[in-house]
Amino acid sequence: MYRSLFHKRWLIVAVLFFTSLFVARVPLKAELWLISAVAIFLFATPVFVAAWQWLGRLRGSVLLTALGLYAFIFETIAIKTGFPYGNFVYNDLLGPKLLDAAPVTVLLAWTPLILGVIYLVQHISSIYARAVLATILLVVTDIVLDPAAVHVGFWFWDTPGFYYGVPLVNFLGWVVSGSIGISGVLMAQHYFKFPALPPLFALNLSFIIAFWASVNLWAGQYVPAVIGLIVLIYIAKKLPTEAVSKL
């Protein structure tokens, strides 16, 4: 099944491109939050499969759970305090909120991004260089995602920023949260001698980027759309043909 994702990746990207038109142009209603939740689950499913193939069911599940909880706790603290992303709130479009802060779907939404960018830098020998470059790639990914999410209405800031409603402090916050999460994964990989990450992580990241870049395009937000296209090309170059056998 997942080998077919690789072979049909450009067909999937095309489907995501056209389905994103609905998301960009049709106002979403809070009572239909389950649709958004299912979409996030579908984007996360390949990551579960890749993690189990990479580390086995037990260790893979432990890693995914740890990353999910880290993301949720960090988001909750950020919403309650305004640090490090600025003062922002989630709408009800992503499902019920826990602790009146972040929706439960946060447990799934952030992890695919982290593991995707780590795959892209794993060829670098220095663990410190990997951490820095992966953090930069994660922030670039957010430069694509956040404007689209704000346009759709998933979340918003008390004081909208200059970049399609996103303030600069948000991206600085992603440097903080991203560097911590990425460093944690890299240190665990080094300490426990984890093998190389499978390319399914990067393939799944490409689907996420394709979808949100397309939402930006349909919304007339051309800067993040173009950046998303560049990231897609970059990821494609990191997925050699022989990766099919390793998916």
Say how many residues make up the chain. 247
Distance CA 89, CA 185 (A): 28
Whether pLDDT at 239 is above 80: yes
Distance CA 79, CA 82 (A): 6
Percent of the chain's residues with pLDDT above 90: 86
Mean pLDDT confidence for 65-70: 97
- 128 contacts: CB under 8 Å, gap ≥ 6: none
Backbone φ and ψ of 100, nearest 5° = 55, 40
Q: By CB neighbour count within 10 A (0-12 exposed, 13-18 middle, 19+ buried), where does 210 fall?
A: buried
Would you state the pLDDT for residue 9? 86
Going by the DSSP 8-state scheme, the letter that residue 246 receives in this structure is: G
Mean pLDDT confidence for 52-80: 96
Going by the DSSP 8-state scheme, the letter that residue 82 receives in this structure is: -
